[in-house]
Amino acid sequence: MAEPDGQNMRVGLPAHAIEVGPDPLARPTRNSVGGWPFLDEDQKWPDCFCGERMVLFFQLDIPSDLEPFSGDHLLLFHCRAHNDASDPQMTDGRLVPRYWDAPQPPYPRPFWRVLLQREATLPAAEPEPSLRALPLTLRPFTDVPAEGLGAQTFKVGGAPSWAQFPEYYQCACGTELVYVCQVPEDMEFAVRPGQPEQPYSVGADTYGLFLGNEVYLLACPAHCDPAAVWPVNQN
Ligand SMILES: [Zn+2]
Ligand SMILES: [Zn+2]
């Protein structure tokens, strides 16, 4: 990446816009809202501390032009019953050890789980029961940050469109986390009929993430753990 050398310098970054297709999926697909999670063989479907199995909101293969995560399979799980904002817990200037499992006051653990899987070859036997399974299409574009901010859209790669001041975090392993994916504010995910409502959600027939905050996923490029991803929330 070039060094900034003036007010108007703009560096285009490889990115892929993520589009949600309209036609329900009938079979496992690697890039999907809901659907059949592709997990590493030793990785179980995550449960929330409240006992509910977490909802698979979306999953996708990170495209080959997006180092250092290219080839990883990204999955975002979030509890239906717990709808809140993330709150970074730090110690010695880093996220706390095993922050993906650590207390998230007032909760004993996080109510979400973001995974980067590297050996995810097989889909789960059953699809996510609560969300409509829909295909995701990734369309490459060049994200040209304006005044340091990338495009405000559902995307993987590019630059975050920070709603507030940029946030940077050091992983518990000492590596600086790197931005990988953004989910826009108030994005709603369609639920199947007959599902319980989500507290504080916008619609009775949709679920959302992190109280509707915009989500910027920062992940550990050292891959110190499949769950070493921090979801920054802003609005
Ligand atoms: Zn929960
Ligand atoms: Zn790490």
- Can you tell me the mean pLDDT for 56-74? 97
* 79 Cα–ligand 2 center, Å: 24
pLDDT in tens, 87-128: 999 999 999 999 999 999 999 999 999 999 999 999 999 999
- Evaluate if residue 6 carries a pLDDT over 50: no
Determine if residue 68 is left, alpha or beta; phi over 0 gives left, psi from -120 to 50 gives alpha, anything else beta. alpha
Angle at the Cα of 188 from the Cα atoms of 182 and 194, rounded to 5 degrees = 140
pLDDT in tens, 125-179: 999 999 999 999 999 999 999 998 999 999 999 999 999 999 999 999 999 999 9
Ligand sitting nearest the alpha carbon of 50: 1
| 203 pLDDT tier (thresholds 50, 70, 90) | confident
Residues with CB under 5 A from ligand 1 (ion): 48, 50, 79, 81-82, 111
Ligand sitting nearest the alpha carbon of 229: 2
Q: Quote the pTM value.
A: 0.95
What distance in Å separates the CA atoms of residue 71 and residue 80, rounded to the nearest whole number?
A: 29
pLDDT in tens, 25-38: 999 999 999 999 99
